[in-house]
Amino acid sequence: MARINVSQLKQACVDRGWLDRWLDDPATPVPMPMTPAGGIPVNGRLFHQLVAGLVQKLCVPDASAPLLALRSREQIWALLWDELAAAKVQALVRSQSAEAALHLAEALKAWCQRLAELRANCPNFKSWRSALLTHEFDLKRVAIQVSDGGVVEVSGRPDSVQVDPVHGIVVVDYKLSRGSNGTLDLLQLAIYARMLRLAKPGLNFAGLLEYYEPGLHLVPKTEAQLNAIFEHEVQPVLDRIAGHEKLMSKLKSVQVGHEAVRLSWQPKAEPDLGRDIEKAYNSFKVPVQVMGRVEAPQLVRYLIRPGLGISFAKLRSNAVNLKIQLGLHAEPLVMPGSGHVIFDVVKEKPDTVWWQDEVQRAELTAHASPLALALGVDINNRLILADLCDSNTAHALIGGSSGSGKSELLKSLVATLVKRNRPETLQLTLIDPKLLTFGGIVENAYLTGPILRDIEESLACLHLAVEDMERRYEILLAENHTRLGDRIAQGKTDLPFRVIIFDEFADLINSGREEKKEFERLTKRLSAKGRAAGVHLIIATQRPDKDVVTGQLKANLPMKICLRVTNAVNSQILLDEPGAEHLLGRGDFLSQTGSTPVRGQSLFIPQKEFLELFADKI
């Protein structure tokens, strides 16, 4: 079961990169960003210690009459100072500065004032517990439900739960400075309010941030506000954590054991060739050890450690020998990995990865961006995600020879966009000169117009898209928005996202010099400015040669997806490296959304299911 603590969870909500690193290895502590240096040191930990010490004294069950008689700020402060604070504050003068010590003392005084007020407003004061319900207590492993029915256990230690005269029962967090990110404070409050509600069913908790700066500033939040923060900001992160945990537990057994495991794409049991590979290499005097085995939809990957003094080149040069010895139907792909050698044995009959199953995975459903896409699954059965709203993946160039799986890939991308958006927020422009890819979609609310088939129409459509983009800029500027997504998030749907999908643009480029120049000019403008205006390009070609995929086009379309191509030159043109000529076809691809290509298998959606997505949106 996935477990996380409150500090980590709030950090994950504001920094998805941090979350990714934590998910990769929760055992290795991922450092939290530090509060920026500068200003007076605020000694928050000491403040918490001293306050907790006093509360402990006040709240003992048989508290003495003088303790119960404390009423004013001065009386409470005198006790706190004499019993706990004096020595610490004086030590601060020596170890830090008089300013820091004064800041702490003032903050503590403000807290005493707050306590006196709580007491004064407590109708039937019998003990300090009537005002301070609990203080610095552990909430251990509170199970919070996630969308797919699983749970994530969250642990933490709220500062205090109090009865506030105005706000009712409140979970309180003390802060000695507002820091650089008030959002984190609110997230923490929302998480604690939800944990308390689960731990104490029947009670509702509002929240209060008490900023001692050093004077007290209260930031109250109602239960409804905290609920909304939790639902919008925290729940998707918990869904993602639970989804990841589920995936990892499946993967673990695939990687370490050699047991049959049912993954979402349901592999047929492939023989384990681990020992055979070792024996075969040994027979050529190349000692190796197979360290692991991962079964992907299109191949089985073995991770090999070469014996001492055995070079990678030796393993690679024996690939053909291994094919013969092991009776494989294709030569294994031998590639360098980090700390091991990758030995990919392609399956004779690759498994199909069904779109319908994969798009339900939490990594995608919990993704905040409406234009997040699943390109496919990687070797480790993780979804390969790409977000059109992200500048690194805002526009895509797809290449692959005939039969490599471009049309199916385009269909799965369109299906994901349609599944995750309504026609009011997403408009598709489909250009399909081959007539087949999007054949069957008739007039539809998701489409900007009929599916375009001829070259002149396609060029005219790109012209209009540029005009549309310029108009959008003017509107965004007038309304003070920097990106269309923010406008849509505010509920304004008169300008939806617009995704232009062009299957086979080579014919257009090859129809004449002028057309080619114009196509390049228009795609350049759309790709340079489109993202902020919510206009995105996904264009595909069967002929990724240098005349079609020009340097300029490549530079303008940051995301590249290369399916099987006929030769290493085509792979080089698209990805800047060879390799895609060895892919299997049927949706086996290398995607480049970052620095190194990732191998994946695209998702398959049967035509009937694809058309059904559009069926009721005429």
Ligand X SMILES: Nc1ncnc2c1ncn2[C@@H]1O[C@H](COP(=O)(O)OP(=O)(O)OP(=O)(O)O)[C@@H](O)[C@H]1O
Q: Rule CB under 6 A: is residue 407 a binding residue for ligand X? A: yes
Give the separation between CA 565 and CA 580, rounded to whole angstroms.
6
CB of 153 to ligand X, least distance (A): 37
Give the separation between CA 13 and CA 185, rounded to whole angstroms.
12
405 is an annotated ligand-binding site residue = yes
DSSP of 278-320:
HHHHHHTT--EEEEEEEE-SSEEEEEEEEPTT--HHHHHHTHH
CB of 273 to ligand X, least distance (A): 24
CB of 527 to ligand X, least distance (A): 23
3-state SS record for 360-387: CCHHHHCCCCCCEEEEEEECCCCEEEEE
Q: Which is nearer to ligand X, 165 or 403 (CB)?
A: 403
Q: Rule CB under 6 A: is residue 289 a binding residue for ligand X? A: no
Q: Rule CB under 6 A: is residue 402 a binding residue for ligand X? A: yes
End-to-end CA distance of the chain: 44
Where does residue 432 rank: exposed (0-12), middle (13-18), buried (19+ CB within 10 A)? buried
- Return the range that interacts with ligand X (CB under 6 A); candidates 53-61, 99-107, 259-267, 399-407: 399-407
Q: Which is nearer to ligand X, 487 or 543 (CB)?
A: 543
149 is an annotated ligand-binding site residue = no
CB of 589 to ligand X, least distance (A): 9
Q: Rule CB under 6 A: is residue 405 a binding residue for ligand X? A: yes
Q: Rule CB under 6 A: is residue 602 a binding residue for ligand X? A: yes
402 is an annotated ligand-binding site residue = yes
- Please name which of 86, 4, 5, 74 lies closest in space to residue 46, comparing C-alpha atoms: 86
Give the separation between CA 600 and CA 311, rounded to whole angstroms.
28
Q: What letter does residue 232 receive in the DSSP assignment?
A: I
CB of 385 to ligand X, least distance (A): 17
Give the separation between CA 555 and CA 551, rounded to whole angstroms.
6
160 is an annotated ligand-binding site residue = no
Question: Which tokens go with 333?
Answer: 């792909």
Q: Which is nearer to ligand X, 118 or 430 (CB)?
A: 430
Q: Rule CB under 6 A: is residue 400 a binding residue for ligand X? A: yes
Q: Rule CB under 6 A: is residue 150 a binding residue for ligand X? A: no
Question: Which tokens go with 293?
Answer: 């085995």
Q: Rule CB under 6 A: is residue 406 a binding residue for ligand X? A: yes
Residues in 532-551 at the binding interface with ligand X, rule: CB under 6 A: 542
- Candidates 77, 586, 591, 593; binder of ligand X (CB under 6 A) is 586
In the block, which residue shows the tokens 């349901």? 266
Question: Which tokens go with 26?
Answer: 């929760």
Q: Which is nearer to ligand X, 164 or 408 (CB)?
A: 408
Q: Rule CB under 6 A: is residue 307 a binding residue for ligand X? A: no
CB of 357 to ligand X, least distance (A): 13
Q: Pairing between strand 372-378 and 497-503? A: unpaired
155 is an annotated ligand-binding site residue = no
- Please name which of 543, 598, 202, 310 lies closest in space to residue 406, comparing C-alpha atoms: 543
Q: Rule CB under 6 A: is residue 587 a binding residue for ligand X? A: yes
- Return the range that interacts with ligand X (CB under 6 A); candidates 266-274, 313-321, 398-406, 478-486: 398-406
Residues in 74-103 at the binding interface with ligand X, rule: CB under 6 A: none
44 is an annotated ligand-binding site residue = no
Question: Which tokens go with 80?
Answer: 């706190």
Question: Which tokens go with 59?
Answer: 């709240």
Kindly provide the residue ranges of all beta strands, DSSP E only, lying in 504-567, ordered along the sequence. 535-541, 559-562
Q: Rule CB under 6 A: is residue 408 a binding residue for ligand X? A: yes
3-state SS record for 136-193: CCCEEEEEEECCCCCEEEEEECCCEEEEECCCEEEEEEEECCCCCCHHHHHHHHHHHH
Q: Rule CB under 6 A: is residue 604 a binding residue for ligand X? A: yes
17 is an annotated ligand-binding site residue = no
Q: Which is nearer to ligand X, 130 or 264 (CB)?
A: 264
Q: Which is nearer to ligand X, 141 or 434 (CB)?
A: 434
Q: Rule CB under 6 A: is residue 381 a binding residue for ligand X? A: no
Q: Rule CB under 6 A: is residue 556 a binding residue for ligand X? A: no
Q: Which residues of 284-307 are buried (b: 16+ CB within 10 A; e: fewer)?
A: eebebebebbbbbbbbbbbbbebe
400 is an annotated ligand-binding site residue = yes
CB of 505 to ligand X, least distance (A): 12
- Please name which of 450, 438, 572 lies closest in space to residue 504, comparing C-alpha atoms: 438
Q: Residues comprising the binding site for ATP? A: 400-407
Which residues are at the interface with ligand X (CB under 6 A)?
352, 400, 402-408, 434, 542, 586-587, 602, 604
Q: Residues comprising the binding site? A: 400-407
